[in-house]
């Protein structure tokens, strides 16, 4: 019998701890498959965040470092500068990257570190139980803004891909989601392209993935997908935000 589908060798056999309907698992799969298809798995070094993806080191089968909250881009800088020919990536949530780790991500991008950052924007602090993130939408309820976020109290949600795109060191930024097969395909293409451009030594590459958190959004998995499409995408438009540098051969 022909094998039509199998788990990527970029993932271990460990059982994922993510909630039902959470998109973290799909995104892990796309990153793992991309590394394998590009022949980078054996060389790759990943850096996990503090957040729901903290255990990503149990799931990716390449070498991994677990960073302190928000510091993954600095950790990845130390790895990449001393291992310049190897694929290095960070996998970070929106609290991790856009709040506590803002300085580290901006400066890694500014320096044009040849790394790939996979940014999981689920508009909430998942792991700690649903507090407001810098990406939480206006009106969206969280445990630290229980009547919904207001601009007056917390400012407007931040669009990281657009912001990092203003930096010359950032050569590629795309926003994707994984709500259905066409979008999953696009997301995978973006992740692969980011790694290719990294290996081409073009500069800093960034893929923002809009992601569901049914648990802390208080929704079923299907409601969460619908909310992502109808509420998140209008504020965080999908597509390539920046793509410069030499064309990938």
Partner 1 sequence: MEKELWKGNEAIAEAAIRAGCNCFFGYPITPQSEVPEYMSVHLPQAGGVFVQSESEIAAINMVYGAAGAGMRAMTSSSSPGISLKQEGISYLAGAEVPCVIVNCMRGGPGLGTIQPSQGDYFQATRGGGNGDYRTVVLAPSNVQETVDFVQEAFDIADQYRNPVMIVCDGLIGQMMEPIEWRPVPRRDLPPKDWAASGRKGRDHHNVINSLYMAPEDCDRHNQHLEEKYAAIAENETRWEEVDCRDADVIITAYGTPARIALTALETLQAEGVKAGLFRPITLWPFPQEALRRLAERPNVKAFLDVEMSSSGQMLDDVRLAVEGRRPVRYLGHAGGVMPTVEEMTASVKAVLKEVQ
Using rule CB under 6 A, residue 214 touches ligand SF4: yes
Of these, 18, 125, 172, 195, which contacts ligand TPP (CB under 6 A)? 125
Residue 94: contacted member of ligand SF4, Mg ion, partner 1, none (CB under 5 to 8 Å, by partner type): Mg ion
Contact 242, 173 (CB under 8 A): yes
Contact 145, 133 (CB under 8 A): no
**β-strand partners of 93:** 120
Using rule CB under 6 A, residue 167 touches ligand TPP: no
The residue among 61 and 216 lying less far from ligand SF4, judged by its C-beta, is 216
Of these, 31, 132, 133, 224, which contacts ligand TPP (CB under 6 A)? 133
Using CB under 5 A as the criterion, what x/- string covers residues 82-101 for binding Mg ion? -----------xx-------
For 10-46, b where at least 16 C-beta lie within 10 A, e where not — what string? Answer: bbeeeeeebbebbbbbbbbbbbbbbbbebebbebbbb
Using rule CB under 8 A, residue 28 touches partner 1: no
Of these, 11, 120, 173, 178, which contacts ligand TPP (CB under 6 A)? 120
Using rule CB under 8 A, residue 12 touches partner 1: yes
Residue 128: contacted member of ligand SF4, partner 1, ligand TPP, none (CB under 5 to 8 Å, by partner type): ligand TPP
Using rule CB under 8 A, residue 65 touches partner 1: yes
Task: Give the angle 40-95-10 at the CA atoms, nearest 5°.
Answer: 20
């Amino acid at each position: 019998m022909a094998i039509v589908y199998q788990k990527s060798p970029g993932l271990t056999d460990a059982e994922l701890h993510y909630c039902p309907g959470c998109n973290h698992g799909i995104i892990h799969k796309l990153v793992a498959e991309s590394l394998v298809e590009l022949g980078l798995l054996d060389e790759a070094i990943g850096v996990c965040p503090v957040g729901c993806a903290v255990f990503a080191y149990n799931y990716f089968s390449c070498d991994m470092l677990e960073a302190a909250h928000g510091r993954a881009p600095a950790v990845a800088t130390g790895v990449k500068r001393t291992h310049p020919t190897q694929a290095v990536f960070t996998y970070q949530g929106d609290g991790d990257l856009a709040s506590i780790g803002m300085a580290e991500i901006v400066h890694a991008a500014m320096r044009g570190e040849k790394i790939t950052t996979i940014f999981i924007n689920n508009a909430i602090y998942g792991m700690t139980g649903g507090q407001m993130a810098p990406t939480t939408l206006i009106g969206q309820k969280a445990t630290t803004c229980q009547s919904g976020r207001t601009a007056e109290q917390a400012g407007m949600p931040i669009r990281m891909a657009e912001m990092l795109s203003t930096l010359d060191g950032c050569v590629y930024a795309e926003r994707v989601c994984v709500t259905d097969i066409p979008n999953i395909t696009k997301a995978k293409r973006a992740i692969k392209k980011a790694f290719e451009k990294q290996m081409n030594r073009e500069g800093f590459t960034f893929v923002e993935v809009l992601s569901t958190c049914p648990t802390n959004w208080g929704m079923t998995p299907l409601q969460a997908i619908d909310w992502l499409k109808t509420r998140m995408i209008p504020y965080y438009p999908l597509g390539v935000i920046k793509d410069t540098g030499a064309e990938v051969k």
